[in-house]
Amino acid sequence: MVDLANLRDPVVIAAFAGWNDAAEAATGAVDHLIEEWHAELVTEIDPEEYYDFQVIRPEVGFDENGDRRLTWPTTRIYLARPDDTDRDVLLIRGIEPNMRWRGFTQELLEVVDESNAQIVVVLGALLADSPHTRPIPVSATSSDAELSASWSLEPSTYEGSTGITGVFADFCGQLGVPAVSIWSAIPHYIAGTACPKASLALLSKIEALLDLQIPEGELPEMARAWQRGADELSEEDPEVAEYVQSLEEQRDTADLPEASGDAIAAEFERYLRRRNKNHPDAQ
């Protein structure tokens, strides 16, 4: 059993498949972190109490030894100890439960509490009127006033139906652990497949907020492949091309005020940090 009581300045990053995860962008980001950071499985929630197996069915496959294996849908918690930081990261990769949300969330909170996590980051993705030819929009909000002020986050003003991400973030706040919600906006007209471009955008936001160096691995190339596929779809259908052009015009007009010196400087600083890491001898 992994000892969670003595972690280094721990942070929690969580994503849940389902309503909160358009184009698998949020879970794709956490899957990437699990793989790149060689995260160790800490525990998993017993799915019997929380999932309807006629809605989310178990899967049959083969393990690395070629033995037939049954895998139950559930939520798993991993521990990553990135080499290039003095912070440990708990990664929650789950599925939105079908029932007993409060009990489900309480089980997650027990792990958060045991780890003495300093902050929780919850990832989500939604469908939006966003052109695939532009950077994926990403927003970060928090209901914690102190955190919002120190990180220059937008206050959370959303009202309406919520998913397990909203419930988990709210319960974390009640526990006294500040939570940040980071959402990416997926082009709705091409949301039928996974969107690595949006996963990459979410990870870039995490990297900036938490000052973590996140290895990109093959994700940039996967994002470029997704971009090429979206371009081909647009080129083959004149109606889609016209629609994309209208979205581009709306987006470009809306983005003009955001092209500030501070935004450009922040992006340049991020580039320099990555460049210095990849080329430590560079002056």
**For residue 264, pLDDT beyond 70:** no
**For residue 107, pLDDT beyond 50:** yes
Q: Which of the residue ranges 45-59, 81-95, 163-177, 266-280 would you say has the lowest mean pLDDT?
A: 266-280
**For residue 192, pLDDT beyond 80:** yes
Is the distance from CB of 238 to CB of 246 less than 8 angstroms?
no
pLDDT at 82: 92
Q: Which of the residue ranges 40-54, 133-147, 150-164, 199-213 would you say has the lowest mean pLDDT?
A: 150-164
The pLDDT-based confidence of 169 (bands split at 50, 70, 90) is: very high
Cα–Cα nearest to 60, from 45, 73, 44, 42? 73
Q: Which of the residue ranges 98-107, 114-123, 235-244 would you say has the lowest mean pLDDT?
A: 235-244
The pLDDT-based confidence of 269 (bands split at 50, 70, 90) is: low
This prediction's pTM: 0.86
Going from the N-terminus, what domains does the chain have, and what CATH number goes with each? 11-236 (3.40.50.10900), 237-282 (no CATH)
Q: Which of the residue ranges 102-116, 211-225, 255-269 would you say has the lowest mean pLDDT?
A: 255-269
- The pairing of beta strand 89-95 with beta strand 76-80: antiparallel
Q: Which of the residue ranges 1-10, 133-142, 225-234 would you say has the lowest mean pLDDT?
A: 1-10
CA distance 230 to 245: 13
pLDDT at 136: 93
Report the 10 Å Cβ neighbour count for 228: 10
Is the distance from CB of 93 to CB of 75 less than 8 angstroms?
yes
pLDDT at 259: 47
The pLDDT-based confidence of 283 (bands split at 50, 70, 90) is: very low
Question: Which one has a higher pLDDT value, 231 or 154?
Answer: 231
3-state SS string over 173-230?
Answer: HHHCCCEEEEEEEEEHHHCCCCCHHHHHHHHHHHHHHHCCCCCCCCHHHHHHHHHHHH
pLDDT at 157: 79
Mean of all residue pLDDT scores within the chain: 89
For residues 115-144, average pLDDT: 93
Question: Which one has a higher pLDDT value, 256 or 48?
Answer: 48
Q: Which of the residue ranges 2-6, 179-183, 196-200, 236-240 would you say has the lowest mean pLDDT?
A: 2-6
Rg (C-alpha) for the chain, rounded Å, is: 20
pLDDT at 76: 97
